Amino acid sequence: MDKLVSLCKRRGFIFQSSEIYGGLNSCYDYGPLGIELKNNIKNCWWRAMTYHHANIEGVDASILMHPRVWEASGHVSGFTDPLVDCRKCKQRFRPDTLQTKMCPNCGGELTEPRLFNLMFKTFMGPVENQTAIVYMRPETAQGIFVNFLNVVNASRQKLPFGIAQIGKAFRNEITPGNFIFRTREFEQMEMQFFVRPGEDAEWFERWREERLAWHQAIGIRAEKLRWHQHDAGELAHYAKAAFDIQYEFPFGWQEIEGVHNRTDFDLGRHQEYSGKRLTYFDEERKEHYIPYVIETSVGCDRTLLTTLVDAYCEEPAGDEVRVVLRLSPKIAPIKAAILPLVRKDGLPELAHNIANDLMRAHRVFYDEAASVGKRYRRQDEIGTPYCITVDSQSLADQTVTVRERDSMTQDRVAMSALRGWLDERVRYD
């Protein structure tokens, strides 16, 4: 992890937030490469969920919502974690994550657990009193539930259908940590799939299968992924069944995505608290009912960390060590580097022309500094899948050398075919 964190900073993936002021605990900023990687992950998810499913619509709901939403959802009363303090060193812990009954830091005695609500509160308007309290949403799901009828009416979707959303969520976590694994501000990619009651178990299995396949499709190694089923003690108040997709991080197997059968809990509660009817009319069955919901909920930042951890690789290369990020070309921040072999004989001009053409479709990088070997290494370290080298032969026959990152094999490709060649290899479909 230390090597990865240092690479992330050095090469511009992830920086500590407000670093010049000493940083803000558990808050991070994405740099030039990090934002590309993040956008690519979001794009792969969005395409997989909406473009590939005619029956899934997208929304983008606001972060601040009516405070009653969080009473209805159960978050005001129930979104709590137990918290204990060490009487000696004053550190705080979540007792459910501790192996011992003593402080893991200094061995001191711990206080009795207190329940701590994880929602961030703020005030809407100029007066800071009880009636002006609003919450920063702790999950994006509720923005989907409260828009259920709007989307049904606007899109004329019939059950089963889904609503997808990507957006920020905030949790005042007691023990954030492991770099961007657990932070207090993060982004979720959630899809709520509305189904007929009685068909929920079948859809639950279908979405489980599809979501696991998605992680593999963006390049995560299958052997590093596994399912964890929630037992009765772990199940959230709204869930009938829940499975987590876990990844084997250097700090152990941890959840990256949850697939939950939320039943009719959320829509039922919003109907009760808002006094608005949220039933769906099933034309085939000629009946009104509240649909069941299968939720797939994955953290964008946590997926990004997973892709980096999974891709990081050191291998011997002669006397040196080659650091390679074996990111899938679909999510790699830079798709290709365009490198003139030497800085003369018209090669830079030709390489610039290629870069100018490719940059209309993809994020590419032009580099003419240092030896070509060094330039290859710099690209390996940030996961660029292809290096396109322009040499003297390019002037003669309008072809370039394309070097593939992982195998380091080289191919000649006609310049006129380059755009299609690259497009085919980096596209998510």
Contacts with ligand ATP by CB under 6 A lie at 139, 171, 173, 182-183, 186, 188, 255-258, 297-299, 301-302
Task: Report the alpha-carbon angle 314-245-32, nearest 5.
Answer: 50
Per the structure block, which two tokens stand in for 325? 């990020």
Residues constituting the chain = 429
Q: How far is the CB of 192 from ligand ATP (least distance, A)?
A: 13
Quickly list H helices, 235-324.
265-274, 300-311
3-state secondary structure 330-341: CCCCCCEEEEEC
Q: How far is the CB of 303 from ligand ATP (least distance, A)?
A: 7
With respect to ligand ATP, which residue has the nearer C-beta, 224 or 352?
224
With respect to ligand ATP, which residue has the nearer C-beta, 140 or 394?
140
With respect to ligand ATP, which residue has the nearer C-beta, 110 or 298?
298
Q: How far is the CB of 19 from ligand ATP (least distance, A)?
A: 20
Q: How far is the CB of 104 from ligand ATP (least distance, A)?
A: 18
Strands (DSSP E) along 312-398, which ranges? Answer: 312-317, 320-325, 336-340, 364-366, 386-390
DSSP-derived 3-state class of residue 427: coil
With respect to ligand ATP, which residue has the nearer C-beta, 256 or 350?
256
Per the structure block, which two tokens stand in for 305? 């960390």
Q: How far is the CB of 47 from ligand ATP (least distance, A)?
A: 19
Distance (Å, rounded) from C-alpha 98 to C-alpha 262? 29
Which single residue brings its beta carbon nearest to ligand ATP?
Answer: 299
Distance (Å, rounded) from C-alpha 136 to C-alpha 118? 10
What is the DSSP code (8-state) at residue 47?
I
Q: How far is the CB of 112 from ligand ATP (least distance, A)?
A: 22
With respect to ligand ATP, which residue has the nearer C-beta, 257 or 264?
257
Q: How far is the CB of 253 from ligand ATP (least distance, A)?
A: 12
Instruction: Find tokens 């109907």 and name the residue.
Output: 271
Distances (CA, A) of 416 to 171, 412, 422: 50, 12, 12
Distance (Å, rounded) from C-alpha 198 to C-alpha 248? 34
With respect to ligand ATP, which residue has the nearer C-beta, 14 or 256?
256
Q: Is the CB of residue 240 less than 8 Å from the CB of residue 264?
A: no
With respect to ligand ATP, which residue has the nearer C-beta, 72 or 298?
298
Q: How far is the CB of 5 from ligand ATP (least distance, A)?
A: 16
DSSP-derived 3-state class of residue 243: strand
Distance (Å, rounded) from C-alpha 179 to C-alpha 312? 15
Q: Which of 336, 335, 352, 334 is nearest to 394 (CA)?
A: 352
With respect to ligand ATP, which residue has the nearer C-beta, 301 or 391?
301
With respect to ligand ATP, which residue has the nearer C-beta, 44 or 388?
44
